Amino acid sequence: MRILQKCMLALTIIGALNWGMVGLFETDLVATLFNGSDSIISKIIYVIIAIAGIINIGLLLEPMDDNKKMHD
């Protein structure tokens, strides 16, 4: 589960960076790479990133332990 969560966290970060580009430069990288935001590939990528964000809600619910090693 830890590996899946790390992969989903990476996708969430990519999505956040894409939104940052939209806010700062009015450039949607996903839409640019995949022929617009209405293309089926773009929509699939948006949904995958949304699912990644939902999965990462679990990170908020985990108790924080300062002594826990980050090498899990």
Q: Please write the tens of the pLDDT for every residue from 10-66.
A: 999 999 999 999 999 999 999 999 999 999 999 999 999 999 999 898 888 888 776
Alpha-carbon radius of gyration of the chain = 15
Distance CA 24, CA 3 (A): 32
The DSSP secondary structure of 52-65, one letter per residue, reads: HHHHTHHHHHSPP-
CA angle 64, 65, 69 (to 5 degrees): 120
Instruction: Please report, for residues 57, 58, 71, the alpha-carbon distance to residue 29 in angstroms, rounded to integers and kept in the order given.
Output: 25, 27, 32
Stated pTM of the model: 0.77
